Amino acid sequence: MHQLLGLILKRLGFGAITLLVISVIVFSAVEFLPGDLAQQVLGQSATEETVAAFRRELGLDQPSVTRYFIWLADVAHGDFGNSLANGQAVSGLIAQRFANTLFLAGYAAAIAVPIALILGVLAALTRRSLFDRLINILSLGAISMPEFFIAYIMVTLFALKFGWFSPLANVTPEMPLGTRLWATLLPALTLNLVVVAHMMRMTRASILSPMASPYIEMADLKGITPLRVVIRHALPNALAPIINVVALTLAYLVVGVVIVEVVFVYPGLGQLMVDSVAKRDMTVVQACCLIFALTYILLNLTADILAIATNPRLLHPK
């Protein structure tokens, strides 16, 4: 227990350092953008006096290092500032959008994880069979196709040609759960085509690894059915890498939904970030990048902890 607690604290420290480095990169990326931020926000018709006053209001007349530490201190207290586009608090703009992104990611994961685990177990049971080869070919094809390509095919076929879904995944907070699930089914399935293939291949590989062990051969000699051998003997020893890839897939679903949200015009955090880039609303862009980075770091930490909890031998590397 003490070793696990020490590992958690160590990973949290690494995560904090990583997040600090990311904050520097995000702030610097905004600084290196061409043009005058104040001029672009106010427009070309603004007078020099108005632009200068706006620069002082934003603190743009101060050195970059000073502004970075002021921004970092505000973020540490939960203050992301105000939007340059409408003057609203960034935290208020992000709250509902981030909830929508988590809903879509959770919805996709609820579909993807059971399907991937079942297909992975079946592929391991029927290794080198026609089913195994077919599943591997299809999964490789799904992994190879970019998400925006899959998304546009989904929209063309199921929204425009057959008319089963709306091409726009419009959701509102007051929308009933059933209507919300139907409205977001198409983007959720788009995300599933990639993550199911990846998780299925990892599940299959993780189960096949212990299948050559002596205790599995002994179970076969005792006449235990192949399905029971996999479920009762091979799967428990393969849980660590499977849990790890599931947690990392959840991180990918939360952070990697930007393209899917843009294609389906889904009101999530990724769509908000893209819109804010177009408007040059850099306070919102910085906040979105930090939240995505923090989410990914925390889910990576969760993956490490769960993997070690299911396989304590990982606490004692060779």
Position 84 in a domain? no
**Coil/strand/helix, residue 312:** helix
Would you state the pLDDT for residue 28?
A: 85
> With 80 as the cut, is the pLDDT of residue 265 above it?
yes
**Domain span holding position 195:** 90-315
In the beta sheet, which residues pair with residue 82? Answer: 89
Counting residues of the chain whose pLDDT is more than 90, the rounded percentage is 0
CATH number where 250 lies: 1.10.3720.10
Are residues 53 and 106 part of one domain?
Answer: no
Are residues 304 and 200 part of one domain?
Answer: yes
Last residue within a domain, chosen from 21, 46, 76: 76
Are residues 246 and 304 part of one domain?
Answer: yes
Handedness of CA 119, 124, 126, 127 (dihedral sign): positive
Are residues 55 and 156 part of one domain?
Answer: no
Are residues 140 and 70 part of one domain?
Answer: no
pTM: 0.82
> With 80 as the cut, is the pLDDT of residue 226 above it?
no
pLDDT digits (tens, 9 = 90+) for 157-188: 888 888 888 888 888 888 888 888 898 899 88
Q: Number of folded domains in the chain?
A: 2
Position 83 in a domain? no
DSSP state of 72: H
Distance CA 273, CA 276 (A): 5
Are residues 294 and 159 part of one domain?
Answer: yes
Position 195 in a domain? yes
> With 70 as the cut, is the pLDDT of residue 35 above it?
no
Position 81 in a domain? no
pLDDT digits (tens, 9 = 90+) for 274-304: 888 877 788 888 888 888 888 888 888 887 7
Burial 234-267 (b: 16+ CB within 10 A, else e): bbebbbbbbbbbbbbbbbbbbbbbbbbbbbbebb
Last residue within a domain, chosen from 76, 110, 130: 76
Burial of 96 (0-12, 13-18, 19+ CB in 10 A): middle
Helix, strand, coil fractions of the chain, as percent rounded to 5? 80, 0, 20
Tokens matching residue 100: 């929508």
Are residues 121 and 28 part of one domain?
Answer: no
Are residues 154 and 17 part of one domain?
Answer: no
Are residues 62 and 94 part of one domain?
Answer: no
> With 70 as the cut, is the pLDDT of residue 40 above it?
no
Mean predicted confidence (pLDDT) in 55-66: 76
pLDDT band for 44, please (50, 70, 90 cuts): low
